[in-house]
Structure 1
Amino acid sequence: MRKRIISILAAGCLCGGLLAGCGSSDSQNTSSENENRKDVSGKDFGEYSPEKPLELKLSHFAASEENQLAILANTFAEYVEEESGGSVKVTVYGGGTLGNDQESLDSVIAGTLDCAVNNTPIMSGYAQGLSVLDLPYLFEDYDDIYSFLDSEICAGMLEDFSSTGAKILGLQCVGFRNLESSKGFAETPEDLKGLKIRVTGSDVYINTWNTWGASAQTMPGNEVLTALQQGTIDGCDNVNNVCIADGYQQYAEYISVMEYAAHFNGITMNAAKFDSLTPDLQEVITSAAKKANLECTKNLESKNEEQLEEMVAGGAQKSENVDKEAFKKASQSVYEDFLKENEKGAQYYESIIELLGK
């Protein structure tokens, strides 16, 4: 089992800096840790202190440390230790060593794992209303995304999820999903006819791609590259960060810039564990999650564009001639099915539409 203890890095190190490494000698690191830790005197952390810290296990399933799941996990761990003055230490287990997306969320709900980074399509299996975030072209730009993330609607959705046994500490947006295919570009729905496309296990995603004419396939994320290499699937959809980190463009070199769905994930924590902590300690953890989510969302806003161009420079091809209006029109039945079958999701949808002024 690969185990990595996240230590406190210099405050100026952002998400990318975490992966590149910011430390030097042990003595310098120790000095930096002490300097960056907040003064938490007067805070009530119960039985926990720098000498006897609360130790949390956090899982993510990303195979690469360049993947946005790993970056979020590491950034959160840094901020928790910093904001708590060393009274909370987070151990990050990567690469799915504590389970894939579904398994790790199950463990958080059961209380056998403290925290995980999970995708909202997986979370929606426990709170159907969250699948509203998967609807095609609901969010059209980052202005929409930031308005939603900063809204009472988002806060209410996160609070509603606590009834599952897991608390969502906050969400990050990892970008807009595009199609990577080995069979050429998909600029209209007609171009998808007969293609086997791997999608994340969301009923909305599955219905969307099937409605567009593709054959939606679901499989764990760590199996996608092999499936592309072996031709088991013809393509997959994801954000650019995941594609380049996992190497999809090696075998699915045609990238159609569809930007059809904003993809969200976030940090979950066992609700009973969270509730057992003092209010001051709860505030530290939620504050650290909020900082990490916002920082990583902003970094990915520009990083995804850079990584698209990096993939093209490496031999992939892109098409920005996607007829988005045709895909939106073809999505009408997806919306009709969703609004008819998902009562809570329909409530969220109406609130989001009002918020965004659509």
Structure 2
Amino acid sequence: MKKISILLLLFLGLVSCREASGIKVLYLAHGLPQTHPVHKGILEFQKALELKSKGTLKVKIFPDAQLGSEREVLELLQIGSVAATKVSAATLSNFVPEYHILGIPYLFRDKEHRFKVLEGPIGKSILEKGSKFWLRGLCYYDAGSRSFYTSKKAIRTPDDLKGLKIRVMNNQMAINMVNSMGGSATPLSYGELYTALQQGVVDGAENNEPSFVSSNHYEISKYYTLDEHSAVPDVLLIGTKYWDKLSEDEKKWVQEAADESSQAQKKFWSDSVEASMKTAKEAGVEIIIPEKSLFAEKSKSVLEEFVAKHPDMATIVNQIKAE
């Protein structure tokens, strides 16, 4: 009931109100805990925007999924009940098809290539694609690379995935990727994963280092294989219903604050990865550095199938590979 009450208040227009003092409040909701490096990046956005606007634009943050799941909050942006959010590009791809591209396995050669693409013309053009769906992208946040972790046996080559049930997000790209490598992709709610690993419902999962540790999955899964098969970023978004009400100066401040927060968040992420790996190693997790080319070769069919189904996006894919 508490959540419904909050949403009702937002729906009635609090999100875009101008207070008597001339202050505009931007409501930003996301599903991450306040200790997460992405939340820390959002705090930088909050501080930068208030500074640039001399206090006339303020950000009110609702973390910890207080206003619902990523999908639910995206829908709130579309109707104008919430101004902004942070979601995974994987979730966003269900609203804006071009974001599917960022989930293609081994699309990016390395971290440098990834950020050159995301922060350049290609990445910015994808951010703009969401406007026709009332979801304007502001910037990307580093969400690292996703790798496999398992509880029963180590994954050193793709052959080791055969017969293993691997939890994935409910995302077709992720499902196709695991299946192409020989595993059995098992979509499952993230909140159910710890128990599923513990009870053997699934044999493993795939995620980045901070998530592997913050979820306590390292307590059960003692093998972590850094195959880095995908690097799906997070995206900071603003609803066009809110954006369109801003003046040109206000839009400029919002975009500049987002860009600055994106750069600051990279450092938060890097520090979190280092701390997470230290925790995992001290807990007895075996960190495996495999031959990535073996995994990349096995998953090539995912790219081929995607391009065949979406020929209109082949140009973007080729531009990324040539960058």
Do the aligned partners of 1:49 and 1:86 also contact (CA within 8 Å) in 2?
no
Asked whether the equivalents of residues 73 and 82 of structure 2 are also in contact (C-alpha less than 8 Å), the reply is: yes
Distance across 2 between alignment mates of 1:192 and 1:298: 33
Would you say the 8 A contact 1:249–1:316 is kept in 2? Answer: yes
**What is the number of residues matched between the two proteins?**
309
| Partner residue, 1:256 | 225
Matches within 5 A, 1:1-358: 51-62=21-32, 64-320=33-289, 322-355=290-323
Question: Over residues 69-124 of structure 1, what are the superposed CA-to-partner deviations in whole Å (9 max), with x where a residue is unaligned?
Answer: 42233232222222222112212112112111222112212222211110001111
3-state DSSP of counterpart to 2:25: strand
Tell me the SS of whatever aligns to 2:137.
strand
CA contact (8 A) 1:190 1:213 kept: yes
Q: 1:230 to 1:111 in 2, by over 3 A?
A: farther
Q: Kindly tell me: are residues 230 and 50 of structure 1, through their superposed partners in 2, closer, same or farther at Cα, counting changes over 3 Å?
A: farther
**TM superposition shift of 1:302:** 4.8
> What is the DSSP-based 3-state SS (H/G/I as helix, E as strand, rest coil) of the residue aligned with 2:73?
helix
- Do the aligned residues in 2 keep the contact of 1:266 with 1:293 (CA within 8 Å)? no
Equivalent pair of 1:60/1:101 in contact (CA under 8 Å): yes
Q: Give the drift of 1:49.
A: 8.3
Contact 1:50 1:86 in 2 (8 A): no
Structure 2: runs of 5+ lacking an equivalent: 4-16
Match of 1:35 in 2: none
Listed as ranges, the gaps of 5+ residues in structure 1 are: 3-46
In the alignment, the residues of structure 1 paired with residue 156 and residue 188 of structure 2 have an alpha-carbon distance, to the nearest angstrom, of: 25
Q: Secondary structure at the match of 1:258?
A: strand
Identity between Structure 1 and Structure 2 (%): 25
Q: Which amino acid aligns with 1:124?
A: S
Shift of residue 187, structure 1, vs aligned partner:
1.3
Contact 2:37 2:268 in 1 (8 A): no
The answer to whether the 8 A contact 1:66-1:245 is kept is: no
Conservation of the 8 A alpha-carbon contact between 1:50 and 1:88: no
2-structure distance, mates of 1:327, 1:337: 17
Tell me how far 1:150 sits from its aligned partner: 2.3
Q: Tell me the CA shift for residue 48 of structure 1.
A: 5.7
- Cα pair distance change 1:204/1:318, threshold 3 Å: same
Task: Look up the equivalent residue of 1:56 and give its one-letter code.
Answer: L
Distance across 2 between alignment mates of 1:245 and 1:354: 36
Are 2:38 and 2:265, in contact at CA under 8 Å, matched by a contact in 1?
Answer: no
2: CA distance, partners of 1:266 / 1:309: 27
Distance change in 2, residues 1:50/1:138 (3 Å): farther
Cα RMSD of the aligned pairs, angstroms, is 2.0
Kindly indicate whether the alpha-carbon contact (under 8 Å) linking 1:76 and 1:288 is maintained by their aligned counterparts in 2: yes
1:112 is paired with a residue whose SS is: coil
